A and B are shown apart, each in its own frame.
Chain A
């Protein structure tokens, strides 16, 4: 059995073939390292800044519907545009962008499988030329809260809804506060949500950054992970990007329609007063 929605992925080969024809095709880079785009990007690609564009710094929420419409319109994207997202870190932040577009109802969005890493290691060309977009008008749908878990729901669903902690085992067991490429000083406690199962996001990826096969993913999450194909599930990580990657796997590739991304993730849950956490001994 293949992916539930195979069209959400596009290979680096296919993207390379289509670079010369940008008609109503919009390639957007979303990176954790927000300087990466300026140093070189795919020909014709625009960027989306995960902090400045996607998040409202005042509320630590994603931007509102009106701001989303402005973001899309400025990039020449309308409701029917095909949007291809890619980025570094195995598409963590591009997956966050994917989830963000779906949150406001954009259907025709895809991820370049393997992301920027695969593109670079294949020694494909990058450019520093920044294309000028022709502004478009965009009318978004209301936020799709069915794909997003909020704090109170997570607290209420502890030990009821399957929760997937997609961070590394070292973050899950409390030895590390953040991925090991980041400094470890953090405000929140270390540990995980009680009852959560640790399935690091990376187990869903091949060495080259592409997604594993549908059968492998199904065995990982539904077989060993205990998630029911027609049941609820909540994925979380530290700040919501790695869990977006896993949300894409659950919701789009495996067709688990009730899967949600908890974008508040551990930086929110681990900082709450009066909620339980768990730690497991370091191996």
Chain B
């Protein structure tokens, strides 16, 4: 079972973002650094998870996802910062069987 995705800012992939996977208890489960394509990958079990992202320079964004047995999930998180550095809402994730 996989939870994977991509981080972008203003339409461009972000390398070097730190993506944390937070478990149902609220505890950190794992963290990865995005590759040159802005991609990340986790191997969690079914359940409710939170994906929490820190970008170089100090921006943050996060998304709650629910993983169902036998499915993988693709999470696309896009950060469009305004003049105050606030991230704009991200599009919904898609699921694949």
Where the two chains meet, the residues of A that have a C-beta atom closer than 8 Å to any C-beta of B are 33, 88-90, 117, 120-121, 123, 168-170, 175-176, 179-184, 200, 202-203, 205, 207-208, 282-283
Contacts and interface: CB of A to CB of B under 8 A. Distances in A.
Interface stretch (B5-13, B25-33, B72-80, B84-92): B25-33
A190 B3 CA distance: 21
Contact of A180 (B33, B43, B54, B56): B43
A175 B33 CA distance: 24
Contact of B28 (A176, A183, A202, A283): A202
B45 to A, nearest CB: 5
22 contacts: A33-B33, A117-B54, A120-B18, A121-B54, A121-B56, A121-B57, A121-B58, A123-B56, A123-B57, A168-B23, A168-B28, A168-B29, A169-B25, A180-B3, A180-B21, A180-B29, A180-B42, A181-B42, A182-B30, A183-B43, A202-B27, A205-B28
B56 A179 contact: no
B31 A184 contact: no
Nearest to A209: B18
Given A179-B30, A202-B27, A203-B27, A170 B45 contact: yes
B3 to A, nearest CB: 8
A182 B16 CA distance: 18
Nearest to B3: A180
Contacts of B24: 283
A196 to B, nearest CB: 16
Contacts of B30: 168, 179-182
Given A88-B33, A117-B18, A121-B57, A181 B43 contact: yes
A168 B25 CA distance: 9
A184 B23 CA distance: 16
B56 to A, nearest CB: 5
Interface of B: 3, 16, 18, 21, 23-25, 27-33, 41-45, 47, 54-58
A183 to B, nearest CB: 6
Contacts of B56: 120-121, 123
B29 A170 contact: yes
B57 A89 contact: no
Q: Which 7 A-B pairs have the closest CB atoms?
A: A202-B28, A181-B30, A180-B30, A168-B29, A179-B30, A180-B44, A180-B42
B31 A181 contact: yes
A90 B31 contact: yes
Contacts of A179: 29-30
Contacts of A88: 33
Nearest to B19: A181
Contacts of A121: 18, 54-58
A203 B25 CA distance: 12
A176 B45 contact: yes
A183 B58 CA distance: 30
A205 B31 CA distance: 13
Contacts of B45: 170, 175-176, 282
B54 to A, nearest CB: 6
A208 B31 CA distance: 12
